[in-house]
Amino acid sequence: MLLFRIMKKTIVIVGGGAAGLFAAYVLTKSDHKVILIEQNEKLGKKIYITGKGRCNLTNDSPAETLLANTVSNPKFLYSAVSRLDAKETMRHFSDMGLRMKTERGNRVFPVSDHASDVTAALERSIRKAGGEIWLNQKVIRLIVKEFADENDKKVTGRVCGLLVSDGKQEKVLDCDCLLLATGGVSYPTTGATGDGYRFAGELGLQVVDPRPALVPLTVREDFCKDLSGLSLKNVRLSVTARVKNKEKKICEDFGEMLFTHFGLSGPLVLSASSRIGKYLPGEVVCHIDLKPALTLEQLDARLLRDLTDRSNKIVTNALFDLLPKSLLPYVLSRSGIDKDKSANGVTKEERLELARTLKDFTFHVTGTRGFHEAIITQGGLSVKEVDPSTMRVKKYRGLYAAGELLDLDAMTGGFNLQIAWSTGYAAACGILTDLEEEG
């Protein structure tokens, strides 16, 4: 019987973030030569700041939950996430020696509460398995061989190498397969400088315009700066946009938000930002229900009681326990009520207007903060260019993409890192299968 041995090939991964590291971890289990190239002086600079330094590495929930929490292109993720869901991801990390714990909302963290332990677990496994890690090396450009595939006219070339620079010298590195895991453009100081978009553009691949997501919002109402630092718990936020001259509700949720010197932030607002980017610039309005537990009628009854029981006080003092002290004057002013007016002088109409304002305190969104404050980049390499089960770029042989570089983004809760692990894993499996088929 003849035994065929697959010839050892060189696989290069560009980007030592979550997606690149996970792919390297899988690929170094094979016999192929694996080189991971990272422009920073260390791996996982972004992982280091995730989950406020604790790294919410996944969400221990079924694949359907991840897909439901994915904002852009959830269908594309179906195959990758079915192959590597949260449970499987945790099993891999456990094999790497990482101990994990699950907190509120199924959020998974390392037991140590140190994000650096996640990177360390991956790095240790890669090095132990003989993978090469090149730090302080920036990939400048990809090298492509023109390619005429008789059978597949859609394939236009083969990636066969890359130009790498250490800041002083440039050198060519040949490879058989190349995985782009260069991330997006959010928090650029971590190395997310958008090089992957440039490489894709140079190869004629479609890149969906990147925009900041999971990001604070700027608003027209400049009194926000006076409330800066005030956090509101248990409020309901709904966001509307004017579409074709009709007001459309974009999203609604209940939770916590924060005033900042430029507008609105906090968990509710960050989540909303991912849903409204495409309606900006435009007429986008945040509606805050400051008393979501009460109906308008119940709220009016409470106001009537407070104003009657404390009728000889000024209205600000009569309603002292209605809202945080700093917020009350703005709500009164919006309702057209003088804050120094006597409680017994408030008319029924004014009281009803106050109740309506409390149920619908509005802010007009002027935009989002920039990429330097965005947890994730929306947009990126179009998923139409990529095979969803192997992460292979359809128009090129030997080229794969994974992670935030792709036009994929999700809500907070560990879902974005899960996208990086799942697509990194799918790319690694895709590379190994393709190499096996090519012999």
Ligand X SMILES: Cc1cc2nc3c(=O)[nH]c(=O)nc-3n(C[C@H](O)[C@H](O)[C@H](O)COP(=O)(O)OP(=O)(O)OC[C@H]3O[C@@H](n4cnc5c(N)ncnc54)[C@H](O)[C@@H]3O)c2cc1C
Task: Return the number of the residue (336 or 370) whose C-beta is nearest ligand X.
Answer: 370
Give the residue among 296, 286, 285, 293 at the shortest CA–CA distance from 356: 296
How many other C-beta atoms can be found within 10 angstroms of the C-beta atom of residue 255?
15
Residues numbered 400 to 419 that lie near ligand X (CB under 6 A) are 403-405, 414-417
Q: Compose the 345-384 pattern: x for residues touching ligand X by CB under 6 A, - for all others.
A: ------------------------------xx--------
Q: Compose the 134-163 pattern: x for residues touching ligand X by CB under 6 A, - for all others.
A: ----xx------------------------
- Does residue number 46 form part of the binding site for ligand X (CB under 6 A)? yes
- Does residue number 65 form part of the binding site for ligand X (CB under 6 A)? no
- Does residue number 216 form part of the binding site for ligand X (CB under 6 A)? no
For the CB of residue 392, give the shortest distance to ligand X in the complex, in Å: 17
Task: Return the number of the residue (26 or 235) whose C-beta is nearest ligand X.
Answer: 26
* C-alpha to C-alpha distance for 222 and 379, rounded to whole angstroms: 30
Q: Residue 5 has which token pair?
A: 């041995």
Q: Residue 7 has which token pair?
A: 């010839």
Task: Return the number of the residue (240 or 416) whose C-beta is nearest ligand X.
Answer: 416
In angstroms, how far is CA 332 from the centroid of its own chain?
A: 37
- Does residue number 181 form part of the binding site for ligand X (CB under 6 A)? yes
For the CB of residue 350, give the shortest distance to ligand X in the complex, in Å: 44
Give the amino acid at 161.
G
Which of 13, 18, 286, 331 is in the footprint of ligand X by CB under 6 A?
18
For the CB of residue 183, give the shortest distance to ligand X in the complex, in Å: 3
For the CB of residue 45, give the shortest distance to ligand X in the complex, in Å: 5
How many other C-beta atoms can be found within 10 angstroms of the C-beta atom of residue 395?
17
Give the amino acid at 23.
A
- Does residue number 16 form part of the binding site for ligand X (CB under 6 A)? yes
For the CB of residue 58, give the shortest distance to ligand X in the complex, in Å: 7
Which of 28, 30, 39, 422 is in the footprint of ligand X by CB under 6 A?
39
Task: Return the number of the residue (240 or 273) whose C-beta is nearest ligand X.
Answer: 273
Contact 58, 102 (CB under 8 A): no
Cα separation values, 340 from 142, 299, 328, 329, Å: 69, 21, 12, 10
Helices 18-27 and 116-128, axial angle in degrees (round to 10)? 30
* C-alpha to C-alpha distance for 156 and 147, rounded to whole angstroms: 6
> Applying CB under 6 A, which part among 11-19, 275-283, 298-306, 346-354 lies near ligand X?
11-19
Which of 11, 12, 15, 427 is in the footprint of ligand X by CB under 6 A?
15
Give the residue among 368, 105, 34 at the shortest CA–CA distance from 214: 368
* C-alpha to C-alpha distance for 39 and 134, rounded to whole angstroms: 8
> Applying CB under 6 A, which part among 68-76, 184-192, 223-231, 232-240 lies near ligand X?
184-192
- Does residue number 49 form part of the binding site for ligand X (CB under 6 A)? yes
In angstroms, how far is CA 324 from the centroid of its own chain?
A: 31
SS3 call for 395: coil
Task: Return the number of the residue (30 or 40) whose C-beta is nearest ligand X.
Answer: 40
- Eight-class DSSP state of 351: H
Cα separation values, 218 from 64, 106, 149, 357, Å: 33, 31, 51, 21
Give the residue among 51, 34, 40 at the shortest CA–CA distance from 17: 40
For the CB of residue 363, give the shortest distance to ligand X in the complex, in Å: 24
- Does residue number 51 form part of the binding site for ligand X (CB under 6 A)? yes
Task: Return the number of the residue (303 or 420) whose C-beta is nearest ligand X.
Answer: 420
How many residues appear in the chain? 439
For the CB of residue 42, give the shortest distance to ligand X in the complex, in Å: 9
Which of 12, 26, 30, 50 is in the footprint of ligand X by CB under 6 A?
50
How many other C-beta atoms can be found within 10 angstroms of the C-beta atom of residue 160?
18
* C-alpha to C-alpha distance for 112 and 115, rounded to whole angstroms: 8
Give the amino acid at 392.
R
* C-alpha to C-alpha distance for 361 and 317, rounded to whole angstroms: 21
Q: How many residues bind ligand X (CB under 6 A)?
A: 41
Give the residue among 211, 215, 193 at the shortest CA–CA distance from 411: 215
Task: Return the number of the residue (6 or 163) whose C-beta is nearest ligand X.
Answer: 163
Task: Return the number of the residue (43 or 264) whose C-beta is nearest ligand X.
Answer: 43
Which of 28, 30, 40, 316 is in the footprint of ligand X by CB under 6 A?
40
Which of 182, 271, 273, 335 is in the footprint of ligand X by CB under 6 A?
182
Residues lying near ligand X in the complex (CB under 6 A) are found at 14-20, 37-40, 45-47, 49-51, 55-56, 138-139, 181-183, 186-187, 190-193, 195, 375-376, 403-405, 414-417, 420
